[in-house]
Structure 1
C-alpha cells in the first residue's frame, strides 16, 4: 500500500467489536478497510460541512450587499407572502383564499 502511514488507534470495545463483526460478516476484508472507509466518510462529512459554511458565508455576503439589506417589517413580509400566494393560486386557477392570521 503506497502512500500509507501506519497508525495505532484505540477504540472503545463496542466500536472494536462492531468492526470485527463487520469483517467476520465479509463486509470488509480487514479492520483496516473498515477503518479506512470510516475515515473517508469522516473526511467527506468535514468537507460537506466546510462547503455548507462557505455557501452560507456567500449568501450572507450577498444579502448584506443587496439593496434591500436593513431592517425588515414582519407585517410587510407577511403582506408580500400573501400577495405571492394569491398570485400563485391565480396562476393555477385556484380561488380559495389564504387563511387569515
Structure 2
C-alpha cells in the first residue's frame, strides 16, 4: 500500500482478541485492514454528529427568530375553543 504511515496503537486484551479473531476468520486480511475500517467508521460518525449539531443549531436559530414563545396550555385552549366553536356551529373538521 503506497503512502501509508505506520503507527503503534495500544488496545485492551479484549479488543486485540476481537481483532485477531476477525483476521483469523478471514473477515479481514490483516489487523491494519481492521483498523482502517474502524477509522473510516469513526470518521463517518464524527461527520454525522457534526451535521446533526449544525442542523440543531439551525433549528435553534429558527426558533429564536420565530418570535416569543407561546404558553402551550393557552395555545391548546385557544385551539380547543376554536374547534368547539366550529363544531358547535355545524361546521365540519
- Quickly name the TM-score band, shorter chain normalised: 0.7 to 0.9
**TM-score, normalised via structure 1 length:** 0.71
Unaligned residue ranges in structure 2 (runs of 5+):
82-91
Query: What's 2:30 paired with?
Result: 30
Matches within 5 A, 1:10-21: 10-21=10-21
SS at 1:10 equivalent: coil
Pick closer, same or farther for the CA change 1:51–1:26 going to 2, 3 Å. Answer: same
Instruction: State which of 56, 69, 72 in structure 2 corresponds to 1:71.
Output: 69
Deviation at 1:14, TM superposition (A): 0.4
**TM-score, normalised via structure 2 length:** 0.77
- The count of corresponding residues between Structure 1 and Structure 2 is 83
Pick closer, same or farther for the CA change 1:34–1:76 going to 2, 3 Å. Answer: same
Counterpart Cα distance in 2 of 1:72 and 1:57: 21
Counterpart Cα distance in 2 of 1:8 and 1:26: 23
Pick closer, same or farther for the CA change 1:25–1:73 going to 2, 3 Å. Answer: same
Counterpart Cα distance in 1 of 2:31 and 2:61: 45
Query: What's 1:42 paired with?
Result: 42
Unaligned residue ranges in structure 1 (runs of 5+):
84-89, 92-101
Counterpart Cα distance in 2 of 1:18 and 1:6: 21
